[in-house]
Amino acid sequence: MNTIGQTFFRRFYKIMTSASMFIALTTPLTPNLLQAADAAPVQSAPASLKAGDQYGGGKVVCLFQPGEAGYVSGQTHGLIAATADIGEGVMWAKAVKLCQDYRGGGFSDWRLPSKEELNRLYKNNALIGGFKERHFYWSGSESDKNDAWDQSFRTGISNLGYKLDNNYVRAVRAF
């Protein structure tokens, strides 16, 4: 590319970045509809469950504790991850659709994990198993119309990923 073309693209990129930042800072954020725990599950699980156990179509990631969304005193509820990745090298919109269409264990309430839930998957990846350690996984937590949070399963670093990037997908559901 010649110098004029490079100059044009640098200026265009700078303008677009500034415009995107302005829109992101001035647009009110709406709640992420993909994040669960709005409605607590009805049926309690066995009290003997622990992280890594097979249950509810996947593996238990964690049990909800007092003060966390989904916690019900005297009952056992938590988060389950699919036993394997349901997508690899897919854009964010396809990741959302893959989770919505997933029917592991006969359940239909699978979704992308929130940013915080994805971090729990990372921390318990040895108990859950099957993650690609050199790759990023999508979360359902959006920043704006162009970006969503993802996390490296090599370093544990969470950052904003461009929704057109290709990442791995692991579905979760609450129980």
**Helix or strand or coil: residue 98?**
helix
Annotated domain spans of the chain: 1-30, 33-174
Give me the pLDDT at residue 89, please.
95
Instruction: Indicate the SS3 state at residue 92.
Output: helix
Nearest to 107 by CA among 47, 60, 174: 174
Which class is 33-174 in CATH?
alpha beta
Q: Output DSSP code: residue 42.
A: S
Q: Fill in the amino acid letter for 118.
A: L
d(CA 64, CA 174): 10
Q: What would the two tokens of residue 121 be? A: 């998957």
Residue 70 confidence (pLDDT)? 87
- Sign, CA dihedral 100-105-109-115, equals negative
Residues 169/101, Cβ–Cβ less than 8 Å: no
The pLDDT score that the predictor gives to residue 69 is 87
**What is the structure's pLDDT at 43?**
66
Please tell me the pTM assigned to this model.
Answer: 0.73
At 84, list the tokens: 């394997």
> Quick one: pLDDT at residue 91?
98
Q: What is the pLDDT of residue 27?
A: 40
Residue 46 confidence (pLDDT): 76
Q: Mapping DSSP to helix (H, G, I), strand (E, B) and coil, where does residue 38 land?
A: coil
Residue 127 to residue 125: CA distance in whole angstroms: 5
Q: What is the CA radius of gyration of the chain?
A: 19
Return per-residue pLDDT of the chain as tens, 175 residues. Answer: 555 544 444 454 444 444 444 344 334 433 333 344 444 445 677 778 999 999 999 999 999 999 998 889 999 999 999 999 999 999 999 999 999 999 999 999 999 999 999 999 999 999 999 999 889 999 999 999 999 999 999 999 999 999 999 999 999 999 9
